[in-house]
Structure 1
Amino acid sequence: MVETVQPTSAHVDELADNLRAADRVELRCSGHTDHRKAIADSLACSTHMATVLIDGRVAAILGLAPLSLVCGVAAPWLLGTDLVTRHRRALMRLAPSYIGAMLRAYPHLVNMVHADNEFAVRWLRRAGFTFHPAQPHPATGAPFHRFEMQA
């Protein structure tokens, strides 16, 4: 059973302990060495957030971090466990309502994804995000694609 709930510190701990290998690499390539802190910090600056549970276990935590309230720009983010890849269809069914809510709150969504995170790149493309060519990350030089969507 798939359900979404408000994130808790226990969810953060469970996600950090079971983070997908590709998400660990992406965090490291964006300059984050403490995964638990990166997740908690992302939640702390997000206006919309949810934990996705599958059969009571954390599959992912997602959020929306405002970048410009004046311009209506925010960064959607999602970090997951291996349950994300095993249950990708169930998660894709949740995507339209969450993306719609995000676009209603902030009409321009933009973020970066590690170019080697093939699953995330495919998922974001299927969800309708537009991609830009990979560029070096300012903190590490690792290749990241900028992705975005506008209402």
Structure 2
Amino acid sequence: MIQFHDLRSVDPDVVGAWADYLSQNLRTCDLDEIEAMGAVSPDDALRTSVELSSHAWVILGRDGLPVAMFGAAPHPLPGVGVVWMLGTEGITREAYGIARATRRYFDELNAAYNILWNYIDDRNAASMRWLRWGGFRLIGERQFGPHQFHIFARTNLHV
């Protein structure tokens, strides 16, 4: 059975070890996305995401190894959170369990932020399916270099 751990309640050394493992084993689509956005190294991208986030979790697979970290960081606009996820190929093995469980985490994030959003690389079809499953919508497009990205968002506003 997969396990979710709130990174705010985990020893920082353990979080660091999980981040090291993940950054050394990221899926090709996550590595491609980090590179296309002109970001820093995979390790820096993951650690910065965790450090800036108000909410962050690790997902441990049935083998006890981390398969993903995800969360949300506050945007400068009040009530807006930047949601993110980085993971290993273990996401594929644990896809059903992750999909079933993450909606409640998205609801928790939407309780903290009225709007959750970010960009996703057009080449990352599996993550786009996961986002749609979690109630996100693709709402726009943007180029980063030669690569097409989609803007995705989820809101708790009913206007």
Q: TM-score range by the shorter chain?
A: over 0.9
Q: Are 2:4 and 2:60, in contact at CA under 8 Å, matched by a contact in 1?
A: yes
Q: Within 1, Cα distance between the matches of 2:3 and 2:39?
A: 28
| Counterpart for residue 36 of structure 2 | 29
Q: CA deviation at 1:122?
A: 1.4
Q: Is 1:126 matched with 2:133? A: yes
Q: Within 2, Cα distance between the matches of 1:22 and 1:141?
A: 15
Match of 1:66 among 68, 74, 78: 74
User: Cα 1:17–1:65, aligned 2, differ >3 Å: closer, same or farther?
Assistant: same
Match of 1:145 among 142, 145, 150: 150
Q: CA deviation at 1:96?
A: 1.3
Q: Within 2, Cα distance between the matches of 1:135 and 1:69?
A: 20
Aligned residue pairs, count? 148
TM-score, normalising length from structure 2?
0.88
Q: Within 2, Cα distance between the matches of 1:136 and 1:113?
A: 11
For residues 5-44 of structure 1, the aligned pairs below 5 Å read 5-7=5-7, 8-44=15-51
Q: Is 1:87 matched with 2:94? A: yes
Partner SS for 2:75: strand
Q: Are 1:115 and 1:134, in contact at CA under 8 Å, matched by a contact in 2?
A: no
Letter in 1 for 2:150: H
Residue ranges of structure 2 left out of the alignment (5+ in a row): 8-14
Q: Within 1, Cα distance between the matches of 2:107 and 2:140?
A: 25
RMSD of aligned residue pairs (Cα, Å):
1.3
Q: CA deviation at 1:33?
A: 4.1
Q: Is 1:107 matched with 2:107? A: no
Residue ranges of structure 1 left out of the alignment (5+ in a row): none
Q: Are 2:55 and 2:71, in contact at CA under 8 Å, matched by a contact in 1?
A: yes
Q: CA deviation at 1:141?
A: 4.6
> Which consecutive aligned stretches of 4+ in structure 1 deviate over 4 angstroms post-superposition?
none
Q: CA deviation at 1:25?
A: 0.4
Q: Are 1:62 and 1:76, in contact at CA under 8 Å, matched by a contact in 2?
A: yes
Q: Give the percent of matched residue pairs that are identical in Structure 1 and Structure 2.
A: 31
